[in-house]
Amino acid sequence: MLSCSSRRLSIIGCIALWAFSSLPGQAPAWAQDAGSEALQHFAAGHRAQDAGNLDLAAQEYLAVIHLRPEVAEAYASLGLVYNAQGKFAESARALGKAETLKPGLPGVSLYLGIAYEKRRQAGLAVPHLVEAVRLEPANKQAHTWLGRALWDDGRTQAALEQLRKTSLLFPSDPALLLDLGEAYRKAADLGIEHVLTGANGTPLVHQVYGDIYKDEHAWENAIAHYYRALDQDPRWHGAHFGLGEVALRREKLDAAEQEYRHELEANPRSAAALARLAEIAMLEGKPEDALPLFSAAIHLSGYQAANALGLPRPYPAAAEDFTEHAREQFRACLPALEGAPASASRSLALALANARLGNNDASLSAWKDFTSNMPPSNPSDAYARGLGNFDRQDFEAAENDLNTWLKLHPNDLQADYLLARTCRNLSLSTLEQLLTLAPDSYPAHQLLAETYQNAQQNDKALAEYREVENIEPNLPGVHFSVGHLLLKMGQQDQALGELAAELRLNPDHAEANAEMGTILLAQLEPAKAIPYLEKALQAEPDRWSTYRDLGKAYYMQKDFTKAETALRQAVRHDPEGLAHYQLALVYRSLGQKEAANEQFEISRKLKLESLAHAETQMKTMESVSQ
């Protein structure tokens, strides 16, 4: 989250000064006939605001409004004070009145948009923030808040465009690159969720899961899903290729070759499979066999072949890190490749071999030779252009093409999946740019912390978050991240300290309040837990697990009526039956035996279903290993 207090107070001062000095040597127009009392209250409000006494400032501005209700500057100053106090509903009302009375006052559109955004009314925030950007095109906060509001309003593409524009306008701010990279990652996650939901029951679901597990190096899980895709459709494109990728990464060359050939049986136009067969020939010390395979792959799609090989660079980075034995095989192929006649296949083979050996200059030189020999393509539609640009690793162009295609073909799940993969690669490239440009900045440490956290390397993640705390101790969110990790690591007392620090900076942080309440509940202090859990639900009313904790806390306090109300919300999303069980205890305490037995039975069935699902997963894994 942004820290706006200093900017906010400076704008309040700007408005107040403008109100006092419309022309040099003159009082403002509204003050000339206001009488001394209103002017004195306005001056007192300005002094109180400068001193940080916002309660007194608000009182003085209200006094001005009482005396002169037509004065826009008084409403603007009052609204900005409310904004600084976190009173966003009151801020929105006051700023809205100021904007009605006198459009264009400095800061009003920006902080009216912020107030609506803080109140989770992104649709109302967007037009005000658009106006703020128009009025102050060099104001970084206006651009940043607009990107956030567009995202929260569900306008993902527009939000990404705004965030990209902001990072270009302010290239010296590494935090903007972090925001953009994380936005691309979230867009990729949303795209994957959309595909999985829409493709339920089809091989595409298992293809997606297989690809995810492959990228995470969870080989057995990836294999299981690729096989399930083939069970549903033996000629499904991509599953055999995925199995080949897993076998190749594990240096099982015979198995990999077999899978790539199966892929070609299902999809004879797979340039990617041919390129991998050529690479296997090189790994077997047969460069003379590799060149014809490269030539055939290039004939189908040179850039698809190159992208499958991780050229000109792999995504994710270091995905093609092979053993020393493999590198020796590539090294042994170099003389034969260098002596072969000039051709696109020779250039591609040399680019590959040198890339695997870490000879970056030689690889780049061969890559330039390869691309100079590629004939211009003439894609038939936006999807084909997007696919071609994805293979060229021009991910921004691919994103635009695929969005154009999906506007006309909104149910094309394959295009949705390719767009999600594109956004993932845009995220990776953006975050890599951050690490290159500002490796010692707090956003760089925050990125590394999140990367380690996603990889379940909690100790390393915690160390990086501590670096962020040292550099930017008042950064909203960082104390929560540390507290959350400490809680996962079983260090409840230390976690409480970090969560409390977060709540001092941001009292309405839903997750911090929820986790504070959860810890206190676990420590058998329900009376202390309840206010935090209630505040978490005020900020995010759809936190089902928090309703469950709140119901349990009320139950422990023997406030069974409130416990029932909270648990009635929790059971709306209760896959493991925990909330139903807690509700049953409440009914039993109320003497409602029949209602209690009904909830106990629902809880029992949900637990059995959860167990059955786990057993099905285990059987799938066992069948794969067999």
pLDDT of residue 615: 60
Q: State both tokens at 214.
A: 């492959």
Quick check: do 5-154 and 155-198+383-439 share a fold?
yes
Domain boundaries, the chain: 5-154, 155-198+383-439, 215-382, 512-518+527-626
Q: Identify the helix (H) or strand (E) that includes residue 307.
A: helix 287-308
Radius of gyration of the chain (CA): 30
**3-30 core/surface letters (b: 16 or more CB in 10 A; e: else):** ebeebbbebbeebbeebbeeeeeeebeb
What is the second-level CATH architecture of the domain 155-198+383-439? Answer: Alpha Horseshoe (1.25)
Question: What is the token pair recorded at 287?
Answer: 């460069």
Residue 620: pLDDT band (50, 70, 90) is: low
pLDDT at 314: 79
Q: Which residues, at least 6 apart from 255, have a Cβ–Cβ distance to it below 8 Å?
A: 243, 244, 247
Q: What is the pLDDT of residue 237?
A: 97
CB of 573 closer than 8 Å to CB of 547: no
pLDDT at 625: 46
Instruction: Look at residue 399 in the predicted model and tell me its pLDDT.
Output: 97
| Fold of the domain built from segment(s) 215-382 | 1.25.40
**pLDDT tens, position by position, 478-506:** 999 999 999 999 999 999 999 999 999 88
Q: What is the pLDDT of residues 62-97, one digit of tens each?
A: 999 999 998 899 999 999 999 888 889 999 999 999
Question: In this predicted structure, what is the pLDDT of residue 37?
Answer: 85
Average pLDDT over residues 333-344: 96
Q: What's the CATH superfamily of 512-518+527-626?
A: Tetratricopeptide repeat domain (1.25.40.10)
At 624, the pLDDT band (50, 70, 90 cuts) reads very low
- Write down the pLDDT at residue 376: 83
Share of the chain above pLDDT 70, in %: 91
What pLDDT, on a 0 to 100 scale, did the predictor assign at position 85? 87
Indicate the average pLDDT of the chain.
Answer: 89
Query: Which phi and psi angles does 258 have, rounded to 5°?
Result: -60, -45
Backbone torsions φ then ψ of 119, nearest 5 degrees: -90, 15
Judged against a pLDDT cut of 60, whether residue 34 lies above it is answered with no
Contact 483, 512 (CB under 8 A): yes
**pLDDT tens for each residue of 195-241:** 999 999 999 999 999 999 998 888 999 999 999 999 999 999 999 99
Confidence of residue 260 (pLDDT cuts 50, 70, 90): very high
Find the mean pLDDT for residues 11-34: 43
Is the pLDDT reported for residue 29 higher than 60? no
Residue 606 confidence (pLDDT)? 83
Fold (CATH) for 5-154: 1.25.40
At residue 576 the predicted structure's pLDDT band, cuts being 50, 70 and 90, is confident
DSSP 284: T
What pLDDT score was predicted for residue 2?
34
Closest CA to 542 of 570, 567, 520, 568: 570
